A and B are shown apart, each in its own frame.
Chain A
Amino acid sequence: MSNLHTLAFEIGTEEIPAFDLHRATAQLARLVPDALDAVRILHGEVTVHTTPRRLVAIVEDVAERTEALTETFRGPSVKIAFDADGNPTKAAVGFARGKGVDVGSLEVREEKGVEHVFATRRVEARDAADLLPEVLEGVIVGISWPKSCRWGSTSEYFSRPVRWIVAMLDERVVPVRFAGLEAGNLTRGHRFLAPGPHEVPTARALLDVLEAAHVVTSEGARERAIREGVARVEQECGAHAELPEKTLLEVVNLCEQPTVLAGAFDEEFLQVPEEIIVDAMLMHQRYFPLYDGDGKLTNRFIVVSNGDPACASTIVDGNERVVRARLSDAKFFYEEDLKRPLEAYVERLDEVVFQESLGTMRAKAERITALARHLAADAGLSPADAADAERAAHLAKADLVTSAVVEFTSVQGVMGSYYAAACGEGEKVARAIADHYRPRFAGDELPASAAGRVVAMADKLDTICGLIAVGQGPTGSSDPFALRRSALGILSMLLDEALPLRIGLLRAIDEALSSYARQGVAFDAQVVRDEVADFFVARAKVLLRDEGRAPDAIDAVLAAGVREPVEFVSRVRALDAAREGDPDAFADLATAYARANNLRDASLGAEVDEALLTEVEHALSCAVVQAEGRVARALAADDYPSALAELASLRKPVDLFFERVMVMDEDRALRENRLRLLNRFVAVFEGVADFGKMAKGK
């Protein structure tokens, strides 16, 4: 149709930070259609294209004119809208003003038996072209940036300075204004390969003009080009590249026309621990390291260039020189660090602040050493393992003040383990040092040994307790110290069946807090202890929900008053599993429990008079007495599944009881005796789970 148009909109900028650009791309895909819809400009598909230097939206099938619209609004009732003389009240005037109509134009109509005033507003059809400048200015302003700046003499904010705007409805320029700029039909190409300006003949041609000017306009296309290039290099040199998601995203958004190149460094540098080389390449240079068939790092790497492909050899040469300088730095630091034993760095930890109110890293090292000792004893580790854990805890943070880690932060822990091994610490101690930051994310590998896990738990628990003690725990979406992740890490270590560690988390929390108290940090121990315990329980609930455990089972176990988070998790798992095995029986039992629980009268006690019992009552009484002993023994042995099985055995006698026995008998003695029996029945469940939470329609 001739009255449908294409809209092209480009915000031309100086280089926008890679991750901010990625988020803005997603925002733009919503902002543009929302802004058009808000003023009723009919349109077709909206596509968004972004590069570090531009945000582009192309809108298909934009209608020439908006549709006219008649809107009716109900106002106050006639009683309120007019005074005794029939003149409009303030309420009526206010309503009319609010809707933008004259008070005299209000009409009276009946709705649901009440007379109200109504305002009718007619929005005339308008040319889309007239509305677009304001709409598109709103889009520019509407993008929210983690950080934004001003520039020159303007007062507007954007991620980085905006330098040109293209806004076209087919061949017509839409005069969008922002920060002293007015939109035109001139765009710019790749900064070096085709800077422009380039004229855009019509909106539909914008992307073609850009592509011709060496701009690959979408994140997706640049990523594909990079992956293809990487595959080509892999094939050429028979190696395999690692493309970590974060670095890849950054690399994709650091170029407008990617060219994948391969470089190499001197093999001599492979003597430096692999992790430093990888850190230098990935974090500092955004290169991708290449590995051989055995997964060993090679001396080759991948560079994604934004330069002229014809100049590849110059560019590779330059990058190789940078790597050489970086790696000789790394080698220098590594060799310098090795001149002293790891132990020597421990005392220098007092130069590093852990957290403002919680003292230095040295104090932390001392606390986690003490806590590791406690955990090792609590878990009953062998004397050798316990000694390894304590030693590793003492040395775990020492590498933070070594030059290599100061320079290449992501290798903390790993470097400590190299240095520990080099100065004759045991292999297990070295490994525990490397492992103590694990698990670093959900699903990450856990520390390999019991000693490693003890150190990892001590470190994480110390951080959690300390920050909560000084009121720096996570709030809402803000968790700057990643305490939630740390708590989950601790839980996953405690729950790992491959290497069971029976450790009381509540005792450990007390231990951790008392270290802080001894250090002179002021807090209310009881309050903080509960807060930390609740924090773990909350994390445990998330973990259980993520596993798909039923919410009512979680509530049932929690209501039974279990405080130890690990206990809580294993009970919910057992309860959920048992119920899955026999859902009907559990539903029955829960119903019976809920009924008993409603009837029970604690004031009567649980001393049942055997003489008054009928056969059915007696059967229940016997079952209850037997279950009492067995449940208690099962719980004492931490055998929760058996405790549940014992409770399940009560189902038949209690069902029969409710079927045959009229609890609320007129005879008071009989009635009270039956209530006593129910009291005793309910009491068996105490400490296992509140089955009432699992009853349907409770």
Chain B
Amino acid sequence: MATHTASAHGGRDRAEGRPTPTFQDVIMNLQRYWADQGCVILQPYDNEVGAGTNAPATTLRSLGPDTWRTAYVQGCRRPTDGRYGENPNRTQFYYQFQVLMKPSPDDIQELYLGSLRAIGIDVDAHDVRFVEDDWESPTLGAWGLGWEVWIDGMEVTQFTYFQQVGGFECAPVPVEIAYGLERLTMYIQGVDSMFDIVWSRGADGVVFTYGDVYLENERQYSRYNFEVADTDFLFQEFNDREAECLRTLEAGLPLPAYDSVLKCCHAFNLLDARGVISATERMAYILRVRTLAKACCASYMEHVVGIVPAEEGESAAEAAGKEDGRE
């Protein structure tokens, strides 16, 4: 429901007289900023993904020697994180702002800090830190090194130099920057619940909050994910999509085949939320998804990049095994 209040918060913006940016201001400012850095501004990928990384513009385009720069908003679905709209910090659907630049520019940290300035965060007046946080995706056969970025102790961004994707070495190395848009905006607007985020503010003072836009969505999807989704249908969907993926790969079409990987992931995530995947089955499903994802990457290398991949699976597994050795 729209409310007629002026911004309730002075905001964390130190600049006088400027209204606190809305959620959509943050998005548009990030898009403008990264467009100025030469990125292709894409619109969200039209398939369910668990993270901006999983969209093909990141996963597949990370492969191969060509330069690639993109930035896009991505809605992410994590069925198990649903809280029926009752937790102020956790939802089964949320937005990431994803930046991918290959090769990683030498001044990428400075560019990133510039993007924070562009959305109204005076980084010189805060405590901004790059805290070790390495990334590994068991379903994508991918890993990288990097940080989570903290502003005054709040994690707002994941920053990663991709080393491998789909078991293939990334050369040149792409850098991925994934902003948690709700976190970041809560911080900028000084609100403690993501549902209180001001999404838009009209010239006449009409305000729409994040809750206005998404609270009902959270309630319904939490119920669907945890209680209603038909598990037989989902198991069948997983199997069908797996077969479809392999069939599509045989036709030498990694891009549409990859859509089936995403469908499998989402079916698996829903089954997980429904609590019907036991701990021992879990690994087996993850392995099935990884096999498909790797096959898509291999096909992309062959048909798009034009490099017939050697059997890198083993060395990749070894490298990943080596990386597991931490702490």
Which of B15-23, B44-52, B127-135, B304-312 is the interface stretch? B127-135
Residues of B within 8 A of A306 (CB): 127, 129
Residues of B within 8 A of A255 (CB): 129
- Contacts of A293-312 to chain B: CB distance below 8 A: 303, 305-308, 311
Return B134 CB to nearest CB of chain A, in Å: 7
Which of A55-63, A110-118, A227-235, A346-354 is the interface stretch? A346-354
- Contacts of A251-285 to chain B: CB distance below 8 A: 254-255, 285
Could you say which of B105, B171, B323, B325 contacts A155, with CB atoms under 8 Å apart? B171
Residues of B within 8 A of A322 (CB): 152-154
A: contact size bracket:
35 or more
Could you say which of B124, B172, B280 contacts A192, with CB atoms under 8 Å apart? B124
Interface-centre pick from B103, B128, B130, B144 (highest chain A CB count, 10 A): B130
Q: Is the CB of A311 within 8 A of B132?
A: no
Could you say which of B128, B144, B280 contacts A307, with CB atoms under 8 Å apart? B128
Which of A313-321, A391-399, A606-614 is the interface stretch? A313-321
Q: Is the CB of B132 within 8 A of A163?
A: no
Residue of A with least CB distance to B132 = A17
Residues of B within 8 A of A332 (CB): 87
The answer for the CA separation of A255 and B127 in the assembled complex, in Å, is 10
> Within 8 Å of chain A (Cβ to Cβ): is B300?
no
Q: Is the CB of A353 within 8 A of B280?
A: yes
Q: Is the CB of A149 within 8 A of B144?
A: yes
Residues of A within 8 A of B190 (CB): 321
Q: Is the CB of B131 within 8 A of A254?
A: yes
Q: Is the CB of B280 within 8 A of A359?
A: yes
> Within 8 Å of chain B (Cβ to Cβ): is A14?
yes
Which of A129-137, A323-331, A548-556 is the interface stretch? A323-331
Return B281 CB to nearest CB of chain A, in Å: 10
Q: Is the CB of B154 within 8 A of A321?
A: yes
Interface flags for B137-168 (1: CB within 8 Å of A; 0: not) read: 00000001101000111100000010100000
> Within 8 Å of chain B (Cβ to Cβ): is A146?
yes
Return B272 CB to nearest CB of chain A, in Å: 10
> Within 8 Å of chain A (Cβ to Cβ): is B55?
no
The answer for the CA separation of A319 and B151 in the assembled complex, in Å, is 9
Residue of A with least CB distance to B277 = A351
Could you say which of B90, B192, B282 contacts A321, with CB atoms under 8 Å apart? B192
Return A316 CB to nearest CB of chain B, in Å: 8
> Within 8 Å of chain B (Cβ to Cβ): is A152?
yes
Could you say which of A14, A285, A307, A328 contacts B126, with CB atoms under 8 Å apart? A307
Interface flags for A45-89 (1: CB within 8 Å of B; 0: not) read: 000000010000000000000000000000000000000000000
Q: Is the CB of A311 within 8 A of B153?
A: no
Return A40 CB to nearest CB of chain B, in Å: 36
> Within 8 Å of chain A (Cβ to Cβ): is B37?
no
> Within 8 Å of chain A (Cβ to Cβ): is B88?
yes
> Within 8 Å of chain A (Cβ to Cβ): is B28?
no
The answer for the CA separation of A18 and B161 in the assembled complex, in Å, is 18
Interface-centre pick from B87, B109, B153, B278 (highest chain A CB count, 10 A): B153
Q: Is the CB of B163 within 8 A of A307?
A: no
> Within 8 Å of chain A (Cβ to Cβ): is B1?
no
Residues of B within 8 A of A155 (CB): 171
Residues of A within 8 A of B87 (CB): 329, 332
Q: Is the CB of B147 within 8 A of A318?
A: no
Could you say which of A17, A151, A308, A328 contacts B104, with CB atoms under 8 Å apart? A151
> Within 8 Å of chain A (Cβ to Cβ): is B279?
yes
Q: Is the CB of A149 within 8 A of B152?
A: no
Could you say which of A192, A303, A318, A325 contacts B123, with CB atoms under 8 Å apart? A192
The answer for the CA separation of A285 and B87 in the assembled complex, in Å, is 20
Q: Is the CB of B171 within 8 A of A353?
A: no
Beyond A151-B104, A153-B103, A314-B152, 9 additional pairs, beta carbon < 8 A? A14-B130, A147-B326, A160-B161, A318-B152, A351-B275, A351-B278, A353-B279, A353-B280, A360-B280
Can you offer 28 A-B residue contacts whose CB atoms are under 8 A?
A14-B130, A15-B147, A17-B132, A20-B132, A147-B145, A147-B326, A148-B145, A150-B171, A150-B173, A153-B172, A153-B173, A160-B145, A163-B106, A191-B128, A192-B124, A254-B129, A255-B129, A285-B153, A308-B124, A311-B127, A314-B125, A318-B12, A318-B153, A319-B127, A321-B190, A322-B154, A353-B282, A361-B279
Chain B interfacial positions (CB closer than 8 Å to A): 12, 87-90, 103-106, 109, 123-132, 134, 144-145, 147, 151-154, 161, 163, 171-173, 175, 187, 190, 192, 275, 278-280, 282-283, 323, 325-326
Chain A interfacial positions (CB closer than 8 Å to B): 14-15, 17-18, 20, 52, 146-153, 155, 160-161, 163, 191-192, 254-255, 285, 287, 303, 305-308, 311, 314-315, 317-319, 321-325, 328-329, 332, 350-353, 356, 359-361
Ordered nearest first, which 4 A-B pairs have the shortest CB separation?
A: A318-B152, A307-B127, A17-B132, A15-B130
